[in-house]
Chain A
Amino acid sequence: MGVEEGAVVTAAVAAGHETHSSHQGLPPPPRGWRRLLYPGFLRATWMTALFFGIGCGIVVLCRWWGGWHPIWFGSIIVLVAALIAAPIGFLAGIGAFDYWARYAIGAPTVPEDHSGHGAYSWRDYFRVNTDHKVIGMQYLVTTIAFFLIGGLLAMLVRAELAKPGMQFFDNQTYNGLFSVHASLMIFLFVIPAFAGLANFVVPLMLGAPDMAFPRLNALSYWLLPIAGIMMVSSFLVPGGAFAAGWTGYAPLSVHQPLGTIFFNMGVQWAGASSIMTALNFLVTIITMRAPGMTFWRMPLLVWANFTTSLLVVIATPFIAGSQFFVMFDRVMHTDFFEPAGGGYALGYQHIFWFYSHPAVYIMMLPGFGIASEVISTMSRKPIFGYRLMALSLMAILVLGFSVWAHHMFVSGMAPWLRVPMMITTLLIAIPTGIKVFSWLATMWEGKINFSTPMLWATGFVSMFVIGGLSGIYLGAVPIDIHVSDTYFIVAHIHYVLFGGSLFTIFAGIYYWFPKMTGRMYNEKLGKLHFWLTFIGFNATFFPMHLIGTQGMPRRVSDYDPMFANWNAFISVASFFLGASTIVFLYNMIVSMRRGAPAPGNPWRSLTLEWQVTSPPPVFNFDEIPQVVGSPYEYGVPGARHAVLNGDRTAEEVKVH
């Protein structure tokens, strides 16, 4: 490259910088009535109302035309107008479709000037923003809000169970409490919280300026609050919240009060969000890796999100289908799952678990990725057996689709199916074991820094081992016959989803907090949060194994007095566990505003996201990084993962 050309490039880069900084986000909104047309919450309000009206009109018109009475039929109005049309109106009003809508009606498209990118004030977090870092924050804050609601519901469940007999709620309300608790934690917290973390981190790790489809990314975020509000608001409709469990088994769910369709449709919105994000991750990971970053040089978090995204795009349509069928059985009397009409009740469970077992890995593999990043960096050692770690993710992906019926060992399905499903289920212990042993081997002889993220990561490994071992009990059909649908299951799912997923989400939040906010969190409070949660978690959930094998079924509001002492203990422990969250919230809120400024790379990590400032520039990298080696070469003299920011000497470039 000639000197003059180089100068031109530098000038262009400098000019580009000026353009970005002079923009400072979107231009101010117009004044007067035109403000009503400007994308945002004002337009969202009237468009939601308008679309609700259109939905009502469609229902009334169709029923009048078809001669069905009554013409104004409450549950159909709620379904079509409130749960389908109004959310579309909200999305259109907030501006999620503006670019595509202009294109579709043939209007001149607005040239992309990146003004929708980045956040310059708090307002930029409350609009359709196409910056993956802003979207990541939107995801995390929203999901933590739903985590708190879900957690409070769990506290209410434990309050009811503190002693035998009925205390605070009637049975239907109680069934609603645990159903909404599980649905929020799964669909509005664990799955999207991982998507939020990955949204922030994955493009940075890849050396990319953003996700492949920033507008799709924004849309997939805005679907989430819709799904969450839908599920929570089902408490307000006549008959109460959906109360057939998060599994919503037919035919029970078909005959439940109106709240059930809030679950049926909430899952559709959350699922659509999940699928869009997964497609976005897949395309981003496949096409936007920095030069030199081969698949075998990708950090394991990227591998984990790659496999998770494959699981999501393949499996999620099945739960969408299962919930549509249940809803059709209710509103259109299709009898898919109604034996009286020729339907097959177990069909629901097969379709449901064909998604919901892979969903267990959707909720766990990203956590595996986070644990790998944290453990390698904090132990100052390369991840042990990198390729086998990546391959075991792929093995779990493939095996994960062959085990769904292990949720149905006592369901009355074809009996021959049990042994093959048991074998595939137990086989999953092998790649999972490989991961656990490799993390331990990574820590071995390391120089471990037990900062808060590392505490959560090691806490995760130990709790996940217990959850994995109780999973072996459940995989063995004869034991599963005894313990299925008991508190043993409740203990197991919380060891894998709380001790597994939630611990890694906390590890990830603490680990990337400096990168996301540009400030350090309070280390003492972080450690306090870990220890309170760790103790509260084990005190709450370990005894559940015992009362389960002894004979306490799950999903009951009342129980045999012989379990009274343990339940009282568990309830007290769970309140302690719930209270530990206050430490987390306090630490996050205070540190975000007043924490010490974070350096670019506080953990001395090698992966790309740490090679830029904290928080990163709007377009992540001033110059496309050149990847020259593995991301985990700790302790290898002179090894580098990537070369960037002008320190690309002739010698280094020659390495590849």
Chain B
Amino acid sequence: MRRGSIVQLIVIGVLAGAVASLFALIPGWLPQPASREAGRIDFVFWFVTGICIFVFSIVAAVSVFAVWKFRAKPDDDSDGPPIHGHTGLEIMWTAVPTLLVTSIAVVSAIVLAKDDAQGANPLRVDVTAQQFFWSYHYPGFGNKESDILRLPVNRSVVLRMTSKDVIHSFWVPEFRQKQDVVPGIHPTLHITPNRVGTYPVICTELCGLGHALMRSRVIVMEPDAFQQWASKKGPS
């Protein structure tokens, strides 16, 4: 390969990487995070994005270069050089992706373990799903019932979930956490909200004709305000 071609190849690769980076950076891909888990999950997201931009740039550079330079002239009926393979190259493009996916697996496994661990003194909330609404119970506060999920900021929360009919799924995009709510079992989800505000609770598992409308809200409050609300008797 001539030196000029290598320079052209690198220029195309850098351009492709730049375009891909713009696509990654300009639109707001992820909603404003509102939990400690969200911060870690976003880290994995951008870690994988970096690797993907790297791989994309290489593939884009090679394919654009090939499409541009190796187009046969209309009257050219000859064949290309009979190259059957290249052991070194083949080892390389087996080994490098192996390393990349291994790093993704390691980072993901660590983040998953951290997100799954519950913090000290967690607040337990029982989440019940049924067609087509959510309800929340606070066993620590006389099993107080609410149709809005209210949580104190900066405290570990364990959501213990179950469904009365079909499978639903509990998702708060700002928390990045999601868990299917399955009849017959009680899966749990750990969240540590760290930003006060109101966020949507969305059902993401098709649960029948009201699925699109099965929404609720989560309100993250200052601890004092939460304590006051939770101690009040009767449904909210």
- Contact across chains for A437 and B70 when beta carbons are under 8 A apart: no
Q: Which residues of A contact B182 (CB under 8 A)?
A: 345-346, 411-412
Q: Does A576 sit within 8 A of B, measured CB to CB? A: no
Residues of chain B lying within 8 A (CB to CB) of residue A458: 63, 67
Known A-B contacts: A385-B84, A450-B67. Give 16 more (CB < 8 A). Answer: A380-B80, A381-B81, A384-B84, A385-B85, A386-B84, A430-B98, A444-B83, A446-B66, A462-B63, A465-B56, A477-B108, A477-B109, A478-B108, A478-B115, A479-B44, A560-B200
A residues near B83, Cβ cutoff 8 Å = 381-382, 384, 441, 444-445
Q: For the complex, is A115 an interface residue (Cβ under 8 Å from B)?
A: no
Per the bound structure, the CA–CA distance linking A450 and B73 in Å amounts to 10
B211 within 8 A of A: yes
- Is the pair B63, A440 in contact by a Cβ cutoff of 8 Å? yes
With A388-B85, A447-B80 as known contacts, state yes or no: A434 contacts B185, CB within 8 Å: no
* Given contact pairs A437-B93, A551-B200, A412 touches B179 in the complex (Cβ within 8 A): yes
Q: Mark B83-121, 1 if CB is under 8 A from A, else 0.
A: 111100110011001100110110111011001100000
* B72 shortest CB reach to chain A, Å: 4
Contact B105 A426 (CB under 8 A): yes
A434 to B92, CA, bound (A): 10
Q: Is the CB of A444 within 8 A of B108?
A: no
Q: Are A550 and B79 in contact (CB-based, < 8 A)?
A: no
Other-chain contact of B105, A379, A422, A444 (Cβ < 8 Å): A422
Bound-state CA distance A549–B45 (Å) is 10
Instruction: Tell me if B218 counts as interface (CB < 8 A to partner A).
Output: no
Q: Is B235 an interface residue (CB 8 A)?
A: no
User: Which residues on B sit within 8 Å (CB–CB) of A554?
Assistant: 204
> Smallest CB–CB gap between B16 and chain A, Å?
11
Known: A384-B83, A422-B109, A482-B176. A553 touches B48 (CB 8 A): no
Query: In the bound complex, do residue B206 and residue A445 qualify as a contact, i.e. CB atoms below 8 Å apart?
Result: no
A433 at the interface (CB under 8 A from B): yes
Q: At the interface, is chain B mostly helix, strand, loop or mixed?
A: mixed
**How far is B28's CA from A556's CA once the two chains are assembled, in angstroms?**
22
A373 located at the interface, meaning its Cβ lies under 8 Å from any Cβ of chain B in the complex: no
Structural contact, A251 and B48, CB atoms closer than 8 A = no
Docked pose: A636 CA to B51 CA in angstroms:
38
Q: Can you list, as one digit per residue, whether each of A643-656 has a CB less than 8 Å from chain B (1) or not (0)? A: 00000000000000
Please determine whether A433 and B93 come into contact, CB atoms closer than 8 angstroms. Answer: yes
**Counting CB contacts under 8 A, is A484 at the interface?**
yes
- Which residue of B is nearest A545, CB measured? B29
Assess A559 versus B79: contact at CB under 8 Å? Given A422-B108, A478-B111: no
Mark out the residues of chain A between 569 and 599 whose CB falls within 8 Å of any chain B CB in the assembled complex.
none
B167 CB-CB contact with A under 8 Å: yes
A419 pairs with B109, CB closer than 8 A? yes
9 pairs, A vs B, C-beta closer than 8 Å: A411-B180, A419-B105, A422-B105, A426-B105, A433-B97, A462-B63, A469-B56, A478-B44, A479-B45
Mask: chain B, 48-79; 1 = CB below 8 Å from A; 0 = not:
10011001100110110011001110001111
B234 at the interface (CB under 8 A from A): no
Nearest Cβ on chain A to B13's Cβ, whole angstroms: 13
B22 is an interface residue with CB less than 8 A from chain A: no
Please tell me if the beta carbons of A635 and B81 are within 8 angstroms of each other in the complex: yes
- Cβ distance A457 to chain B, nearest Cβ, rounded Å: 11
Contact of B171 among A251, A422, A553 (CB under 8 A): A553
Cβ-closest chain A residue relative to B95: A430
Whether A399 sits at the interface, judged by CB under 8 Å, is no
Nearest residue (CB) in B for A429 is B101
Q: Closest residue to A470 on the B side, CB-wise?
A: B52
Contact A485–B115 (Cβ < 8 Å): no
**Closest residue of A by beta carbon distance from B74:** A449
The 4 A-B residue pairs with the shortest CB-CB distance in the complex, in nearest-first order: A339-B184, A635-B79, A551-B173, A412-B187
User: Given the complex of chains A and B, what is the CA–CA distance between A49 and B177 in angstroms?
Assistant: 54
Interface centre among A382, A412, A418, A466 (most CB of B within 10 A): A412
CB atoms of A472 and B51 under 8 A apart: yes
Say yes or no: A412 contacts B66, CB within 8 Å: no
Residues on A with beta carbons closer than 8 Å to the beta carbon of B71: 448, 450
Interface residues of A in 369-420 (CB under 8 A from B): 379-382, 384-388, 410-412, 415, 418-419
**Distance in Å from the Cβ of A569 to the closest Cβ of chain B?**
13
B202 within 8 A of A: yes
Q: Say yes or no for A555: interface residue by CB 8 A criterion.
A: yes
For A462, list chain B residues within 8 Å (CB): 59-60, 63
**Quick check: A447 and B212 within 8 Å, CB to CB?**
no
Instruction: Decide yes or no: A465 and B59 within 8 Å by CB, A175-B206, A484-B178, A485-B204 being known contacts.
Output: yes
Interface residue A324 (Cβ < 8 Å from any Cβ of B)? no
With a CB–CB cut-off of 8 A, which chain B residues contact A446? 66, 70, 72, 80
A233 within 8 Å of B (CB atoms): no
Question: Across the interface, do B109 and A486 meet the contact criterion of CB distance under 8 Å?
Answer: no
B67→A549 contact, CB < 8 A? no
Q: Which residues of A contact B225 (CB under 8 A)?
A: none
Interface size grouping (class) on chain A: 35 or more
Please judge, given known A-B contacts A346-B182, A388-B90, A410-B180, whether A379 and B67 are in contact too, CB under 8 Å.
no
Chain A residues near B70 (CB, 8 Å)? 379, 443-448
Q: Determine if A557 is an interface residue (Cβ-Cβ < 8 Å).
A: yes
- A127 and B204 CA atoms in complex are apart in Å by 46
Q: Which of A175, A344, A473, A633 is the one whose CB lies under 8 Å from B209?
A: A175
List chain B residues, Cβ under 8 A from A469. Answer: 52, 55-56
CA distance A384 to B93 in the complex (A): 13
Residue of A nearest to B28 (CB): A550
Do the beta carbons of B204 and A415 come within 8 Å of each other? no
- A42 adjacent to chain B (CB < 8 Å): no
Q: How would residues 531 to 568 of chain A score, 1 for a CB under 8 Å from any chain B CB and 0 otherwise?
A: 00000000000000010011101111111100000000
Most buried by B among A172, A244, A450, A485: A485
- The answer to whether B204 and A559 touch across the interface, beta carbons within 8 angstroms, is no
A contact residues around B179 at 8 Å (CB): 410, 412
Complex: A449 Cα to B73 Cα, angstroms: 8
Give the distance to chain A from B68, nearest Cβ to Cβ, in Å.
Answer: 10
Q: Does B205 contact A (CB under 8 A)?
A: yes
Is residue B148 contacting chain A, with contact meaning CB distance below 8 A?
A: no
- Interface membership of B213, Cβ < 8 A: yes
A438 neighbours in B (Cβ, 8 Å):
90
A380 and B79 within 8 A (CB): yes
Q: Does A604 contact B (CB under 8 A)?
A: yes
Contact of A476 with B205 in the complex, beta carbons under 8 Å: no
- Which residues of the other chain, B, contact A449 by a CB distance below 8 angstroms? 72
Tell me if B159 is interfacial: C-beta within 8 Å of chain A: no
Contact B90 A410 (CB under 8 A): no
CB–CB B104/A472 < 8 A: yes
Are A343 and B184 in touch, CB under 8 angstroms?
yes
A427→B101 contact, CB < 8 A:
yes
Given A381-B79, A433-B93, answer yes or no on A476-B202 (Cβ-Cβ < 8 Å): no
Chain A residue at smallest Cβ distance from B73: A447
Residues on the A chain within 8 Å of B41, using CB: 478-479, 481-482
Q: In A37-83, which residues have CB < 8 Å from any B CB?
A: none
A601 to B178, CA, bound (A): 55
Residue of A nearest to B38 (CB): A482
Q: Please give the distance in Å from A426's CB to the nearest CB on chain B.
A: 4
**A634 CB within 8 Å of chain B:** yes
Q: Could you tell me the distance in whole angstroms from the C-beta of B106 to the nearest C-beta in chain A?
A: 10
Inter-subunit contact A604/B67 (CB<8 Å): no
In the assembled complex, how far is the CB of residue A607 from the closest CB belonging to chain B, in whole angstroms?
15
**A19 in the interface (beta carbon within 8 A):** no
By a CB distance below 8 angstroms, the chain A residues around B112 are 418-419, 477-478
B30 within 8 A of A: yes
Give, as a whole number of angstroms, the nearest-CB distance from B63 to chain A: 6
Quick check: is A436 within 8 A (CB to CB) of the other chain? yes
User: Residue of A at shortest CB range from B82?
Assistant: A635
A13 at the interface (CB under 8 A from B): no
Instruction: Enumerate chain B residues within 8 angstroms of A473, measured Cβ to Cβ.
Output: 45, 48, 52
A430 engages B187 (CB within 8 Å): no
